Structure 1
Amino acid sequence: MKIKKVHVQNYRSVIDSEEFEVDFDKTILVGPNEAGKTALLQAIQHLNPPEGVKPLSALRDYPRAHYNKITSGKVNPADVRVVEAEFELDDDDREYLPDGMKDANYVLWRNLDNTTGHRLTDAPAKKAYKDLEKDLLRLAAHADKQFTPSEDSSKQSPTESLKAATEGWHGFQTIEGKKAQSLRDWLEAVFPLLDEDNEKEEARFDNLKEEIEIGDARNAAVQALQKRVPVFVLFSNYFRVRPLIHLKQLATRITNGTLDDERYDYGNVCLLKLLGFDATELSEMGASIDPDANDPEALEAFREKLDERQYQLNAAEVSLTREIRSVWKPDESKGEAAKLRLRADGQYLKVTVEDDLGVEVELDQRSEGFQWLVSFFVVFFAEAQGEHKNAVLLLDEPGMSLHALKQREFRKTITRLAEGNQTLYTTHSPFLVGPDELDLVRVVEMSSREEGTKVHTSITANDPAALLPLQEALGYDLAQSLFTQKQNLVLEGLTDYWYLEAVSQLLRASEEANLSEKIALVPANTAGKVVYFATILHAQGFKVAALLDSDSAGDQAAKQDTLVHTLGNKGILRTKDYLQDEIKAAEVEDLLRDTLITIAKSELDWDVSDSAGKQPQRPLVSLFESEIKEFSKYRLAKAFVRWSRDHDASDLSEREREHWKKLISAVNAALR
């Protein structure tokens, strides 16, 4: 199962985050310092924390400004919900759901007193006694007609036995547990008295039997699903692997439970776990240096043990070095080789780094960023092998000590980790947010302490600092594309970029059309700025084309003498030229008119299908703006990007595919 939505309340700086969606692979929380990003991750971890995590405490975790409500007894910690999440179930999870509930999802929450609760969504609700009472009485009355009193006056009629079975029940009480069993027993007793030719009463009996089972079936399902909830693992920047570990001292601290240096000891324990040894075992190997020379079997056993240790150290070296080099990408011509070496020498385990000359230096003599990267991989691989396999990873400001370009490489590592472990991470580094990942971003801000931390699913915030990492990410990527790609297509805005990128990938996968991968897509933010981007790129000697909407802004941009002179008529592409239908002021959205109408209705609850059918020549965006009060081009484009990940080109309408094949062919031709 994977977390789908989460809602944090009443935790430190978070009064009410409001519910926000979580992507099934990775989700990025951005925001300024003191916005509450770390508090969000800490609260989410309490959904199902690993062993050793401190439980929730009203004194420590309840919003301090409201703590007097706890001490005065106005608020009971058992009634304070801290974190709630809805999980999307996979096929294996759904095996635990009874028939009739296979489409349900699972919701889990934790309260301030550390109690948990759960429920199913989109499943039949538990029945209360009042929901069944009338049908029970009618069935009893029918069975009474077939009941023959015996000489034994203690034998009750169906109505009398029903009254006895439900004595003291209230209408609001749910039918589950002993109450469900009582009704099951009663139904079984009256079944022989039912007229088998009476279809109405037979159906009533069957329906009652199903409804009585709902409560216990739901209880059994949520109990089974709770055992399948992934562990939520929070990785902090503070964990480090010590370059020189004294094994005997570490073994003593572990045995005595006195790990006095949590920052390093945790990393050191993870390193030993990764190697497949514990500190005591390695320490004893180091002490057994002089086995009895007169005992060949003892000598051979000792050598076997040393060889096993060295082979495991070497295997760990190879795997860690491979991962580190995938991010670090050292320039060996400058002596930047990054080969990790693990050496066991008596009571010491050394962690060193070897350069291209074969010289080894201790890990703590390398940069802070390199030390962090080594420590991260050690901790992650050690934990992922054990109880944290398939866990949800919560990364708090990962890679902050890495150089900007290495952060960009580490972003790929996070993506790779997220394929097996759903990942949420916080950052205010623009290099850990890809330009194609803005739909994965959740903006975290705190406008005031009274309001507390809020999470925005859309790219919006009252505080400009919250959006700064996104602006910098787009700016950096744009700057790179401006001076590296020889072929460039300038687009009016970011949503156009998303549509073109997503559709081109769908058509490329189906081999219906192939937008050249050498072409850089450059969003200009507005139609008016297209001319500036085109002019700058053209001045660098690059090939440039522009895609403009056929609305008034696009018309004005297309008629600018500078743009026409720079690109020529063939380099200015207009959306209306690739539509089969006549649509005035057509925009990029009209190239996906059929699909976007469907997605808007199913995903965003925006229904303009009737109006679109009656006004086929009216631009789609104009329809949405006039009928949907909260319409946002960004939200619509974001919904399409999500949709495209789970669909292929065949799910587009035939005319949409024709629109886009013509457009992609024109773009390739203009930039050939």
Structure 2
Amino acid sequence: TIPNHLRIQIDTSFFEGGVPNNQESFDRGMAEFSNQFHVIAIQEPKVIEEWEKIYESPENQFSNLLSGKSEKTALQNFIESELHPRFVYFSDYKKIYGNINLNEYLREEKGERADSIEYVEEFDKAETVRNLFYLAELDMNELEEVKESPSKCIKLLNAASNRLTSKLNPAWKGDPIHVDLRYNPGNIMSVVISDVHKDGTVTNTGLLNRRAEGFKWTFSFIVNFAAETQRAELKEAILLLDEPARNLHPTQQMGISDLLKNLAGSNQVLYATHSPFMIFDYTPGNLLVVELDKRKHLSRIFYDYWNADDKTLTPILYGLSRGQVESIVDREIGTNSRPVIIVETMSDSMYLNAFDKFLQDPNISMNPLNVVAAYNKNSVLPLAIFYRNHGYRTFILLDNTEESKQISAQLVSNEFSPIQTIFFELEGKKLESIEDYIVLEDYLHPVNQTYEIKLRQEGFSNLTPEDVLSKEGKGNLKKLRKIWQEHSDDDWGKFNNEDITRYICEKIALEETSFLSDKTKDQFSSLYRLIAERIRQYQNVNTKSDLDKFQKAKA
């Protein structure tokens, strides 16, 4: 049970070499290994305690090492019995369905497989059915004796169903289920599932095969996993699984994850996954990242997984954000949190935070706000509704494109007040994007600095304000994109405003802001003042509304 991050540091050459010639050599080698082990595992007292039991056990002394037919076989016996772990591989089990043909199942058990066996659905799930009956503690011979007596048969199957249910529910995420095994004519066993709700009501009773594919997979997996782990009484084993629960709803994936987590207490569990919902341990060495080295065409394993490629890390980053998601859905947190302002792009979020630091004006600071960047424009509306419905005072910052105007109309139809929707504007004039708060000459400095390097081979020359203003389009970004379109034959590609955002925000962080004029500062300050004013208006309206409700209730 040595954790991976310790295992890779341990020098095991003493055990891999020849058998020690005498007691003194054995004792010296064991002492050196033990000292090294204590140094490496100094932060893991439980691991050291386990090693001490092996080290001090009379069975593991030199005299017992040579008890086999030869020195080599004796050493092999010692390693196999004391040091070599037991590996258990869980395959992708066949799903079971609603009806089990007991005649065909018993033939399978006896090894009498027919060429084509069908009943309702193809029956090749003998292993899963065997585990189902094992968990239910259902003896086929006992069933054979009572099946002609309905009352005895029902009593037997009710007891088996209750045992089966009690063993499956601890691993079942969400509302509990109840499993009924029912015997039908033709020697058919039906598996009937019901949902059991918190208030005790039972609904959705029906055959297992009526459920979704993910449900059937989860049911079959838990049946197999629970049965085989209980049957084997797994302890100090290495359990291997390949992408478990990959087709399941995230809630059910977390249920499987909890099951693996419990097993990891006395075993090592090794499984591959692409799902953020299947990661429960982010400890370096316990979570490994495997990615393809495109130059060597070999797999690379990262123990310090944050050094892997960002695209490879995507599921891990989503998993690491789970706490943030759970905090959003907690209404107590929402009600008592700072207001949220949802912006349409990551650039909007970066500018708001960077210029807040740059301006350093406590009267209009963004500190009282949580800035949340939507994934894209069509996620703004549902994100705003989600925050609002979970108790957050929610505001939305939009540009003046047609798509954003449609979002504004949808917000109003979903009972957002006009105060909560803020459009970019300056001195009563609508602005196309947040970049238009930056004076054009100031903005062209990072544009020229960035593309002078990126497009050096493509003949890029520094742009002037006149070059940009001569182009058609609303806002500086559209004009710049027009220039890039005109140079498409020169392989300029597309103008990427996010590169410029990063340049400006990085310079602000480094306090290298000589290219930003006072006019740019003033124009950004007006945006912060607009946001602060809308928050005050919203609070005043809500306070008056709450006061009216109180006075009416008092009257």
TM-score by length of 1: 0.38
Higher relative contact order (CA 8 A, sep 6+): 1
TM-score by length of 2: 0.45
